[in-house]
Structure 1
Amino acid sequence: MSQLSLRGVRKSFGALDVLHSIDVDLDDGGFLVLLGPSGCGKSTLLNIIAGLEPASGGDVVIGEKRVNDVFPKDRNIAMVFQSYALYPTMSVRRNIGFGLEMRGMPEKERNAAVQRAADLLQVSHLLDRKPGQLSGGQRQRVAMGRAIVRDPELFLFDEPLSNLDAKLRVEMRTEIKRLHERLKTTIVYVTHDQVEAMTLGTKVAVMKDGYLQQLADPQTIYDEPANMFVAGFIGSPSMNFLDATVVGGDEGPVLELSDGQTLKPSPDHRSLLSGMTGQKIVAGIRPEAVSMDGNGSTLSGIVDVVEPTGPDTMVVMNVGETPVTVRLGARDRPLVQSTLSLKIRPKAISLFDPETTLRI
């Protein structure tokens, strides 16, 4: 396998700039997830890595080799598409081994490679069937087998699970995770599903409007989002944002909300806020960063909606005029229109500049 480096990669279609100087480094054996909403440029970036789309600027380096001018077939990559792209008239066996056949690999070696890939993906019993006789999950496994059998330097996945139902997506996500751990492959994976990103990636690149918003490991992306877009895009339900003003307190600056409630920031944040008295700020609070009791600031609101989900209870409460979603225990069922008071740990509060939207 090989490492991947993107250095100042840009892409324009005429006067329209769709990618703006993307810099990414992925270690050998790493799993990079390109994450973002539709139209953010993630699939275009994947196509540039694959060689299916030329970059307007910058470099793509696979291993130690700059591949900007290398044809896709010579980049030693394998791609798994959203649509599977299987040949309907060929058996599973031939679909998996077709690339090797085109390269002139002897039949005995080819069959052995196909069998190894089929055993790994648990599709050996399907080798003589046609794609039309397979379920969606089985077809996806065959598409993955066709990529694995080539032993490429780099695997590219373009939203491979988006056509599957919810249960099958979870199963296939586990298969891809297991595959990566077994083969130690280098993978670039495109998705708009943040759960896939958080569970699969060793690195996540969050994109918006062709700009790279943040590149980090999944936990850092979740705990320390670089800006309000990343904070709101990652997490389900998404982070709550409360407008606040920095005011003086007995133990240092505190955050005063629009309805007069105050939140105590962490010691690290207090030192940052010490010279910001009177300034506006945005406090970010994740739904699960609250508890019915314990230490921390108290946040109160009027319960508007209660949604039991089985393992937990989602509650929307109005803090002043701002709706705030919180995640409570399965047996916590506050009454609608009642006042709910929750505790928030200072370290669970993220702070953002309301003008730049950047993390403070």
Structure 2
Amino acid sequence: MATLSIQNVRKSYGSLQVLHGVDVELEDGGFLVLLGPSGCGKSTLLNMIAGLDDTSGGDIRIGGRSVVELAPKDRNIAMVFQSYALYPTMSVERNIGFGLEMRGVDEPSRRRAIRDAADLLQISHLLDRRPASLSGGQRQRVAMGRAIVRNPDLFLFDEPLSNLDAKLRAEMRTEIKRMHDRLGTSVVYVTHDQIEAMTLGTKVAVMKGGYIQQLADPRTIYEKPANMFVASFIGSPSMNFVPGRLDQEGGIVKFEALGVSITIPTAGPVFTAVGPAILGIRPEELKIAGQDPAMLSGVIDVVEPTGPDSMVTIIIGEHTVVARVPPRFDGRRGDAIGLTIDPASINLFNPETEQRII
């Protein structure tokens, strides 16, 4: 196990700057997810940690040791790729242990390591088979086993579940989480899938355009996004945004929009961010008014049952919001609907900078 420290790392290809001074600290045994859309720089950063690409500046330290000048083989890392990269003519057992064989590890030690990895990944019954006879999920387990037997300081995963269907992705997320809990080895995991990020990571770095937009634990990323990009990228459906205005009178801060005024709880006695603002509210925080007085009134546009709940698109004046409601909701298009909001669940953003105010 080892800590990972990424210090002011930059990457340029000629005049094109891909990473702009990235700083990340990962604790020993932590699980860091690099999350973002295609082209944000997450795979480039992973490749530089692995030594597959050079840095243009900054330092990368694994276990307190700078590795920027070290070859990949000297960094004591193990990678799992999107493509399984298995040898088709070798058995599962030999695929898992081939790296150890090339390093000169004796046969009894290899067999012991292979057996332990296969038991952990529940593929002991597959050791005599070849990759062509395996399912996608089984092949990915073999690729993980090949990484585990190396006993690395750091695991690197580059979108390992992208080739799997939804059911297998869910199963493999569980396998990866179980592996991490049992081994305790530090992990860096690249994905564009927010579900993978939220379920696996102890720390999530949300990236855009070569910058880290926010680095925090998954709960903080979801509940207190640093800016509107993070707020919209995390969550499905994404956060609702409603433009309005913040005003303060007698120490009370109110947000006014859609014909209503909502009192905003503030963290301290001094609050100066008055003026235009954008309210952000998660769909599950919009509640059907029921017996409570409605704070917002609108008209149902679309109802989308999803099984465990329903997504309701509601038109309120000139704006549209989405509410996550109980699965037995029986409203129809054109019905009037009233909603309540818990002020404590509100996020507010600056409309110019898109940065979080509250």
TM-score class, shorter: over 0.9
Runs of 4+ deviating beyond 3 Å: 247-251, 267-271, 293-297
Secondary structure, aligned partner of 1:281: strand
2:36 counterpart of 1:36: yes
Question: Helix, strand or coil for the counterpart of 1:43?
Answer: helix
Pairwise CA distance, 1:69: 0.5
Q: Which amino acid aligns with 1:60?
A: I
- Aligned match of 2:114: 114
C-alpha RMSD of matched pairs (Å): 1.6
Q: Kindly, what percent of the aligned residue pairs are identical?
A: 63
Secondary structure class of the residue paired with 2:312? strand
Summarize the Cα distance change of 1:348–1:113 in structure 2 as closer, same or farther, 3 Å threshold: same
Cα distance in 2 for residues equivalent to 1:336 and 1:342: 16
Of 285-294 and 344-353, the range deviating more from structure 2: 285-294
Deviation at 1:262, TM superposition (A): 2.5
2:350 matches 1:353? yes
Choose the corresponding residue for 2:276, options 265, 271, 280.
280
| Cα displacement (A) at 1:8 | 0.2
Residue equivalent to 1:101:
101
What letter matches 2:44 in structure 1? T
Determine the structure 2 residue equivalent to 1:162.
Answer: 162
Deviation at 1:249, TM superposition (A): 6.4
Q: Secondary structure at the match of 2:252?
A: coil
Aligned match of 1:23: 23
1:168 maps to amino acid = L
| Map 1:253-268 → 2, pairs under 5 A | 253-257=253-257, 259-268=258-267
1:174-189 aligned at under 5 Å gives the runs 174-189=174-189
- 2:318 is aligned with 1:321: yes
CA distance in 1, matches of 2:229, 2:247: 26
Alignment of 1:207-246 (within 5 A): 207-246=207-246
CA deviation map 1:1-54 (0-9, x unaligned): 100000000000110011010000000000000000011000000000000000
The count of residues paired between Structure 1 and Structure 2 equals 356
Cα shift readout 1:188-231 (whole Å, capped 9, x = no counterpart):
00000001000000000000010000000000111110000001
Q: Secondary structure at the match of 1:125?
A: helix
Q: 2:295 aligns to what SS in structure 1?
A: strand
Q: Structure 1 length as normaliser, TM-score?
A: 0.96
CA distance in 2, matches of 1:182, 1:223: 29
Matched with 1:4 is 4
Q: 1:339 aligns to what?
A: 336
- Cα distance in 2 between the residues matched to 1:46 and 1:297: 49
Query: Structure 1 pair 28/60, CA: closer, same or farther in 2 (3 Å)?
Result: same
- The amino acid that maps onto 1:89 is T
1:239-267 deviations in whole A, cap 9, x for unaligned?
A: 0000001245688332121x423222224
Query: Aligned runs of 1:282-301 on 2, under 5 Å?
Result: 282-293=278-289, 298-301=295-298
CA contact (8 A) 1:313 1:333 kept: no
Q: CA deviation at 1:269?
A: 8.0
Do the aligned partners of residues 153 and 295 (structure 1) sit closer, same or farther apart at CA in structure 2, a change above 3 Å counting?
A: farther
Quote the residue 1:202 is aligned against: 202
Counterpart of 2:304 in 1: which secondary structure?
strand
TM-score (ref. length: structure 2): 0.96
State the 1:309 CA deviation: 1.2
1:264·1:296 contact (CA, 8 Å) conserved in 2? no
Aligned mates of 1:296, 1:229 — CA distance in 2: 32
> Partner amino acid for 2:267?
D
Matched AA of 2:195: V
Gaps of 5+ in 1: none
Contact 2:237 2:283 in 1 (8 A): yes
Structure 2's unaligned 5+ residue stretches are none
- Comparing 293-302 with 118-127, greater Cα deviation is found at 293-302
What is the aligned partner in structure 2 of residue 252 from structure 1? 252
Q: Which residue number corresponds to residue 135 of structure 1?
A: 135
